[in-house]
Amino acid sequence: MTTIDWLLADSPTSRLQANAGRAYRMLRALMRNPLAVIGGIIILTLIFAAAFAPWIAPESPLGQNLEARLLPPSADHWMGTDELGRDIFSRVVYGARITLVIVALVALISAPLGLIIGAVAGYFGGWTDKVLMGLTDVFLSMPKLILALAFVAALGPGIENAIIAIAITAWPAYARIARAETLTFRNSEFIAATRLLGASHSRIIVQHVLPLCTSSMIIRVTLDMAGIILTAAGLGFLGLGAQPPLPEWGAMISRGRTFILDQWWVATMPGFAIILVSLGFCFLGDGLRDVLDPKQGGKS
Amino acid sequence: MSNKGNSKSKLLSLLTGIAGFAFVVVLTFLGLLAITFFIGRVVPIDPVLSVVGDRATQEQYDAARIAMGLDQPLWRQFLTYVADVARGDFGMSISTNRPVAEDLARVFPATLEMATLGIIIGVVLGVPTGVWAAAKQGTWVDQIIRVFALLGYSVPAFWLGLVGLAVFYAGLGWVAGPGRVDIYYEGLVDPISGVLLIDALLIGDTEVFWNALSHLVLPSLILGFFSLAYIARMTRSFMLDQLGQEFITTARVKGVSEWKVIWSHGFKPIRVPLITVIGLSYAALLEGSVMIETVFSWPGIGNYLTHALLNADMNAVLGATLVIGAVFIFINKISDVLYRVLDPRSKS
C-alpha cells in the first residue's frame, strides 16, 4: 500500500489517517486552482524572506550611506536607495518580518477571541446570545479604520499599539461566523451524546464546538489578511504604526512621499511589496473558500 | 372579520418591527459613544496631565480634574458626555481653537463631495463589470475581472494616490494637483451648500467649476476603484446565484435572447441586495477617504482627523470619529431598511 493509497483510503482506521487524508484531498483540490497556487507561493516567499532576511538582503536595512542617496534602481540597488542611502530592496526584505509579525499577532489575538465569543453565544443561546451578539453587532457596524486610528491616538503611536488597535476592530466578523457555524450543529446528536456522558459546557465548547468552526475561520482570516496588512500600512503611513527607522512598508512609503515626483522609486517600491503580499492572501483565501466551502463560491 | 384581524396583526408586527429597529439603532449609537468615551477618558494614562501639562502644581491639577468632571463616577461622566454630544458639543479643538462641531460642519461637505462622486463611479462601472464576469463565468474575462477586483482589496489607497499624483498630475499633467481648487480660485465661491461643484454652478462660475472638477477627478476615481472592486465582486456572486436558477434555464430554452436573460431575468432580482452592497460601500468610502484626503491635501474630515491625530488633539479626533462613525452606522441601517422594504420575500 502506497502512501497515496493510505491517504485516500475510503475507510480510515485512525483519526490521524482520516485527517491526513482530508488534508491531502484539500491540498490536491487547492493545487488545481491556479490563483490559489500563486497565492500560496507568494505567502511562502514572504515567510521565506522574513526567516532568511539577513541572507537575502544584500545590505543592512538600517545602515546609512549618505554618498549613495536617492540612487535610481540599478544592478547594485535593485529598488534604488532612499534619502539616507539605505538599500530599499534590503529594507523591503526586512519589512517582511514586520508585516508577518503584525498579521500573525492580529490573527492570534482576534480569531480566538471572536471564535470563543461566537461559539459561546451560539452554544448557550438565549440571553447570552442576545447580549454577546448585540455587542458584536455594535462593533461590526463601526468603521474599522477610524476606530483603529482613534485607539492608536489614545494609546500612542507604535507597532504594539497598532496591533492591539487592529485586533480590537477585527474580532466581530469572526464571532459572527463562529456563531453561525455553532448554530448549525448545537442541537445535533453528537453534542447531546457528549452532554449525556457528563461533559461540562466548557469541555463541549473547547473539544467539540471550536474545532468544527475552524475551517470557515481559516478562510475568513486568510481573506481578512489583506485588510489587516493595508490597515497596518496605513497606520505606518500616517506615522502612527511602526516608527522609523524600522523598515515597515507603510512608513517607508510615507518617507518617500516627499520625493514622489523626482525619485519615484522610494515610495513606489514598498507599495509593490504590500500589493503583492495582500494579493497573495486574497488569492489563497479565495481558493481555500472554493475548496473548503464550495457552496459559498464567489461570495464574500 | 378575519381580514380585519389580519391587517391589525400586520400593523402590530410593523410597529414592533420599527420599535425593534429603533432600539437597535439607538443601541448602536450608544455603543459608538461608549467606545469614543472609553478611548477619550479611560485609555490615556492621565487625561488631566495631557491638559494641564506635567509642570502644573497639585492645586492646578486638582482644579482641572474637577473642572473636567473626572472626580465623578464613570457612569455619570458617560451621561454628561452623551448629553454634551447630543447638544452638538464636542469640545474645543486645541489646534484650531474653534469648537470641534464647527470645524466638522465646515469640512464635512468636501468629504461628501468626493465620496459621492466616488460611489457614482463605483456603481456605474462596478455593476456592469460584475454582471459581465458572471455571464462569462470561468472564462479569461472572468479571471481578469477577478484579479482586477482583488487588486481593489490589495492596493493601499494612499499608495495609489501618490502614484496617481506622480503619473497624472506631475507626469502627464491631465489633472490638477492636491487641494480642492487652485490657490488663486481659493475663496472665490462662498459656501452655500459647502459642495464646491454645486456652489460654483449655483453662482454660475464655470471657471471655478472646471478647476474644482479637475482637482476632484483623480481622488474620486481612486475611491471609485475601491468601491468598484467590492461592488463588482458582489454583483458577480449575486448574478451567479440567479443564473443557476431554473427559471433562467426555462427562459433560455424558450429562446429568449442571452442579453434579455441576463438583464431582465437575471439582473432584476438582484437589484434589491445590490442596494445594500452599494450602501455599505458608500459608508466604506467615507472611511476610505481618510487616507486619500491625507495624500491629496483634500480639506475634508479625513484630513482634519489625521491632522488632529498628529497634534494629539483628542477632542477633534473623537469628534471626527463620532461623526464618521455615526454617518457610517446611519448609511448601514438605511440600506438595511431599504432592503427589507423593497424585497418582497422579506414581507412574509
pLDDT tens digits, one per residue of B110-131: 898 899 999 999 999 999 999 9
Angstrom distances, CA of residue A286 to CA of A75, A228, B141: 36, 16, 17
Q: Which of A224, A225, A255 is nearest to A242 (CA)?
A: A255
Interior angle at CA B60, CA B57 and CA B66, nearest 5: 140
Task: Give φ, ψ of A87 to 5 degrees.
Answer: -70, 120
Question: Quick one: pLDDT at residue B267?
Answer: 87
Q: How far apart are CA A86 and CA B159, in angstroms?
A: 21
Q: How confident is the model at residue A299 (pLDDT cuts 50, 70, 90)?
A: very low
pLDDT digits (tens, 9 = 90+) for B131-161: 999 988 888 988 899 888 888 889 999 999 9
Residue A164 or B310, more confident: A164
H helix runs in A52-87, sequence order: 53-56
Neighbours of A144 (CB within 10 A): 22
Question: Quick one: pLDDT at residue B1?
Answer: 44
Question: For chain A, what is the largest distance between any 2 Cα atoms, rounded to a whole number of angstroms?
Answer: 76
Alpha carbon B265 to its chain centroid, in Å, reads 31
Report the mean per-residue pLDDT for chain B.
Answer: 83
Angstrom distances, CA of residue B325 to CA of A116, A212, B53, B156, B332: 26, 34, 30, 21, 10
Instruction: Name the least confident of A140-149, A207-216, B48-57, B331-340.
Output: B48-57
Q: B166-177 burial, b if ≥16 CB within 10 A, otherwise e? A: bebbeeeeebbb
B45/chain A closest Cα distance in angstroms: 8
Handedness of CA B168, B169, B171, B172 (dihedral sign): positive
ipTM of the modeled complex? 0.85
Grid coordinates representing B285 are 468610502
Question: Quick one: pLDDT at residue A298?
Answer: 41
Give the residue from B140, B145, B146, B150 with the most A CB atoms within 10 Å of its CB, the best one to mutate.
B150
Q: Which residues of B touch A145 (CB under 8 A)?
A: 287-288, 290-291
The one-letter amino acid code at A113 reads: L
pTM: 0.86
Q: How far apart are CA A280 and CA A278, in angstroms?
A: 5
Per-residue pLDDT at A66 exceeds 60? yes
CB A240 within 8 A of CB A152: yes
Q: How far apart are CA B52 and CA B63, in angstroms?
A: 10
pLDDT digits (tens, 9 = 90+) for A235-261: 999 888 888 888 999 999 998 888 888
Q: How far apart are CA A234 and CA A267, in angstroms?
A: 13
pLDDT digits (tens, 9 = 90+) for A119-167: 999 888 888 888 888 888 888 877 888 888 888 888 888 899 999 999 9
Q: Does A250 touch chain B (CB under 8 A)?
A: yes
Instruction: Name the least confident of A141-155, B173-187, B252-266, B293-307.
Output: B173-187
A123/chain B closest Cα distance in angstroms: 23
Instruction: Name the least confident of A152-161, B5-14, B107-116, B274-283.
Output: B5-14
Q: Which residues of B touch A154 (CB under 8 A)?
A: 39-40, 43-44, 314
